[in-house]
Amino acid sequence: MSKPVRVTVWNEFRHEKDSSHAASQIYPDGMHAPIAGWLRQQGMDVATATLDEPEHGLTQELLDKTDVLIWWGHLAHGEVCDEIVDRVQLRVLSGMGLVVLHSGHHSKIFRRLMGTTGHLKWREADERERIWVVEPGHPIAAGIDRFIELDRVEMYGERFDIPAPDTLVFISWFEGGNVFRSGCCWNRGRGRIFYFRPGHESFPHFHNEQILRVISNAVNWAVADNPGFDDVANERESLEPIGAKD
């Protein structure tokens, strides 16, 4: 029997502590709680970590035993220490999967790994979103029909400043007239990265089973087949003889 996937769900966890914010009602224990709960139901071995813990909860020890890290941040991207971002980046390049949710498009770690700004257009107008599957054969789309419909969302629209995804799995349609590349896969080093658009703090999308299913699919997809670090090295000995030159 294979060992359970080890996931760490990282959450900024600020909105939810503000009792005047809708998030405090929808996610009283933090957005990470229902995500972690769902992943545990799938048989995964789940830890959580949040911004205000020492080292943001992301110790080297925890990262070393994390197969896939989930990231949600919004208000306080700038408070994430660069040293921790370095640490997470190296783990991803060594094979740790990374699933970035919603406003995480502007997180330091996502921008670091993408090399772009992560900028996009947005609107808060309680509009409908339909997340279309464009690669139905992809494992992240398993169990999802032709689309997921969300009745009220914050809109994210193109132009989304990302490197063209290695695989584009979902495209969102918005009632207000916009589209968005909302499910995007990239490989970086030996790591796999998935960006998934839904998850605004003011809506209960992390209680929606279809959204949760995409997240657990993405975790399973993001587990490295062959973790390891590809370093720089001087290979003094050649594999073949090198002839003398004039």
By CB under 8 A, the residues from 79 to 108 that bind a copy of itself are: 89, 93, 95, 106
Q: Which of 60, 64, 139, 145 binds a copy of itself (CB under 8 A)?
A: 139
Phi, psi of 154 (to 5 degrees): -80, 140
Of the two residues 54 and 232, which places its CB atom closer to a copy of itself in the complex?
232
Of the two residues 54 and 115, which places its CB atom closer to a copy of itself in the complex?
115
Of the two residues 35 and 131, which places its CB atom closer to a copy of itself in the complex?
131
- Fill in the DSSP letter of residue 164: P
Site for a copy of itself in 212-241 (CB under 8 A): 224-228, 230-236, 238-240
Nearest distance from C-beta of residue 205 to a copy of itself, angstroms: 15
What is the helix (H) or strand (E) element at residue 130, kind and residue range?
A: strand 121-133
At 105 the three-state DSSP class reads: helix
Of the two residues 123 and 207, which places its CB atom closer to a copy of itself in the complex?
123
Q: 57 near 87, Cβ under 8 Å?
A: no
Contacts of residues 56-63 at CB distance under 8 Å and 24 or more positions apart, as own/partner, are 56/10, 56/80, 56/81, 56/84, 57/10, 58/8, 58/10, 58/84, 58/87, 58/88, 60/87, 62/8, 63/8, 63/87, 63/88, 63/91, 63/96
Q: 39 near 47, Cβ under 8 Å?
A: no
Of the two residues 83 and 240, which places its CB atom closer to a copy of itself in the complex?
240
Instruction: Annotate each residue in 27-66 with x if it binds a copy of itself (CB under 8 A) or - if it does not, as one string.
Output: ----------------------------------------
Q: 102 near 197, Cβ under 8 Å?
A: yes
Nearest distance from C-beta of residue 132 to a copy of itself, angstroms: 5
Q: Which of 3, 20, 137, 209 binds a copy of itself (CB under 8 A)?
A: 137
Residue of 155, 150, 156 lying closest to 208 (CA atoms) = 150
Site for a copy of itself in 115-134 (CB under 8 A): 115-117, 119-123, 125-128, 130, 132-134
Site for a copy of itself in 176-215 (CB under 8 A): 176-179, 181, 186-192
Of the two residues 61 and 235, which places its CB atom closer to a copy of itself in the complex?
235
Q: Which of 55, 173, 207, 210 binds a copy of itself (CB under 8 A)?
A: 173
**Beta strands 167-174 and 68-72, pairing class:** unpaired
> CA of 186: how far to CAs of 21, 92, 105, 124, 134, in Å?
34, 11, 14, 28, 16
Q: Which of 84, 98, 114, 211 binds a copy of itself (CB under 8 A)?
A: 114
